[in-house]
Amino acid sequence: MRGYIAIDGPNGCGKTTVLRLVVMKLKLKGFSAYTVREPDDGFTIERFRLNGASEEFLAGAFMMDRAHLMRRVAQQPYDYILSDRSYISTMVHQSGVSLDFLKAVSESLPLYVDVIFVLVNRSRSQARSASLLSGFDKDNTTEEDEEYADIASMLDNAVVINVGDMDPEQVADIIVDYIL
């Protein structure tokens, strides 16, 4: 395998759209790709959330889910494995867990994320009024974009992409150029 790549960011930033485009572009260049989504078992975790589980419990459930996912995908015979989301989302949404803990657990797994691309829109407030967000959700808050960017800045393997008024195709091109 050449790499395990994650694409993360706030809901509606274009992660899934960009991921699909990256997979298509890699395949056109002759590489094989396998996609996953974190959490892998979101239904069970959502049931925990609805039943009032603590933030710490939810973060632990996400980490157990991630461990199961990593063991499963480590066996896949693909050039690239691409994940929709990463442990950065766990940090944003389960605030009771430290980044050091998440990094330590992730680094102990059989497969480590080589690079996490974090899609944010730092010009979201201006873009919202000007309707410049082609293909991206206009309703997310600037605060969530900044929270993702702040966490990414603490990691050695994260790259923040300010999608601004970029088309998802442009964002996918940036990611493919970076990983190849």
Instruction: Give the model confidence (pLDDT) of 113-164 as tens digits.
Output: 789 999 998 765 444 444 444 444 444 557 888 889 999 998 889 999 999 8
pLDDT at 141: 59
pLDDT tens for 11-51 read 888 999 999 999 999 999 999 998 988 766 556 767 777 78
Q: What's the pLDDT at 110?
A: 65
Beta-bridge partner residues of 116: 6, 158
pTM for this model (two decimals): 0.80
| Sequence spans of domains, the chain | 3-179
Please report the pLDDT score of residue 125 as a whole number: 42
E strands present in 32-88: 33-37, 80-84
Q: pLDDT value at position 123?
A: 67
Q: What is the pLDDT of residue 168?
A: 95
Domain covering 3-179: architecture: 3-Layer(aba) Sandwich (3.40)
Residue 82's φ and ψ, nearest 5 degrees, are -115, 130
Non-local (6+) Cβ contacts of 6 within 8 A are 38, 82, 83, 84, 85, 86, 113, 115, 116, 117
Q: Residue 79 in contact with residue 4, Cβ under 8 Å?
A: no
* Between residues 25 and 89, the one the model is more confident about: 25
* Mean pLDDT value of segment 83-94: 82
Is it the case that residue 56 has pLDDT exceeding 90?
no
Whether omega for the bond prior to residue 168 falls within 30 degrees of 0, making it cis, is no
Do the Cβ atoms of 137 and 11 come closer than 8 Å? Answer: yes
Provide the Cα torsion 81, 87, 89, 95; round to 10°.
170
